[in-house]
Amino acid sequence: MTNVRIGASGNEVRQGARRRLFVEGKANSLDPAAISAVVGPSVDVVPLGPCFNVRAAAEALFPHHQDYYFLADRDYTSSDVVDELWLNFPNTVTHNFLVWRKHELENYFVDPSFAIKSSFLKAGKKSAEIERYLEKTFGDRLWVESVNRYIESVRASFRVSLKFFEDSEILAPTIEKCATMAISRMKAIKFSRPSDKQIKDGIRDAHQLLGGGRPRLQLGVGAWLDQMPAKEVFKGLISRFMAVTDRTGTRLNGVQAENEFVRDLLAAAGATGWPDDFVQLRRILT
């Protein structure tokens, strides 16, 4: 049973009853369920809701509650910032805020070397099949994610509101076509945008980072498995390769299946088989 809390009593915190880790998501969603299993019963995991700005909460509450801790998805945070957050967590000067090293929590659970350890793996399913599924599914989004990754860098640098592209908008893609679409979107907003060449080069760099310069994704080449959004891929992996049940043997679906899958996987793998970030987080907080 996970120790997910909807709220935290200020009196309890002042008395040091438990450490409290605030995370993204609703009470019954993946983040609090998985993170609670990672940190163990000595830490109360408190979901803040799906749209809550976790970093803003960390910075606002730190002067009053230095024993509150906060964890969020990395999304497009730069490697330098991520490394600094992990190096200084918990930060006793500014805040106790941390982000995952991977794009989001789901990226850890779609890693085939980890997912294959689940006791819910369907009979006959092999790691190679999961790898092909990941390469194909992530590969279908490589171009749109390369564009969106660059769009996010422009949003952060120029402080402008630029919409991400949907999958259906990037068809028969090439660097030239993607750059043309990005330029068109930026021209619609009045700001001193990057040059056409900078936009083209930025998208090319993102594509190189994620895909490693290969025409098709290959496991172990490029940063795609760690740095592309994985929520939908995670759901697909469970439905295709796992038969998740409760303790009575009843088949589970949706959020219930996702939560039970991660709890089972963490238990089946044992702490020595966890991703390094999970091991480090547990050690820091407990």
Q: Quick one: pLDDT at residue 49?
A: 82
SS3 track for 7-18: CCCHHHHHCCCC
Q: Determine the pLDDT at residue 142.
A: 96
Average pLDDT on 129-149 reads 97
Residue 10 has pLDDT above 60, yes or no: no
**Length of the chain counted residue by residue:** 286
Q: How confident is the model at residue 171 (pLDDT cuts 50, 70, 90)?
A: confident
Please give the Cα distance from 33 to 56 (Å, whole number): 23
Instruction: Supply 16's token pair.
Output: 């040091």
pLDDT averaged over every residue in the chain: 92
Asked if pLDDT for residue 51 goes beyond 70, the answer is: no
Structure tokens at 191: 């700001």
- Between these two residues, 92 and 227, which has the higher pLDDT value? 227
Task: Check pLDDT > 50 for residue 224.
Answer: yes
- Read off the pTM: 0.91
pLDDT at residue 2 is higher than 70: no
DSSP calls for 150-218 = HHHHHHHHHT---PPPPGGG--S--HHHHHHHHHHHHHTS-S-PPPHHHHHHHHHHHHHHHHTT-SS-B
Token couple for 192? 């001193």
Contact 100, 38 (CB under 8 A): no
Task: Provide the percentage of residues in the chain whose pLDDT is more than 90.
Answer: 81
Question: Does residue 250 have a pLDDT over 90?
Answer: yes
User: Is 50 exceeded by the pLDDT of residue 44?
Assistant: yes
Cα(108)–Cα(156) distance, rounded to whole angstroms? 26
**Whole-angstrom Cα distance, residue 107 to residue 96?**
23
Closest listed residue to residue 285, CA positions, set 21, 15, 102, 25 = 21
Please check the confidence at residue 16 and state whether its pLDDT lies above 60. no
Separation between Cα atoms, residue 146 and residue 208, nearest integer Å: 9
Q: How confident is the model at residue 63 (pLDDT cuts 50, 70, 90)?
A: confident
Q: Residue 230: is its pLDDT beyond 70?
A: yes
Structure-block tokens of residue 220? 């172990």
Domain 10-105+276-285 sits in CATH 3.40.50: yes
Over 60: is that where the pLDDT of 4 sits? no
Q: Give 272: exposed, middle or buried? Use CB within 10 Å, 0-12, 13-18, 19+.
A: exposed
| Tokens encoding 193 | 């945008």
Rounded distance between C-alpha atoms, residue 228 and residue 180, angstroms: 22
Instruction: Please write the tens of the pLDDT for every residue from 102-114.
Output: 999 999 999 999 9
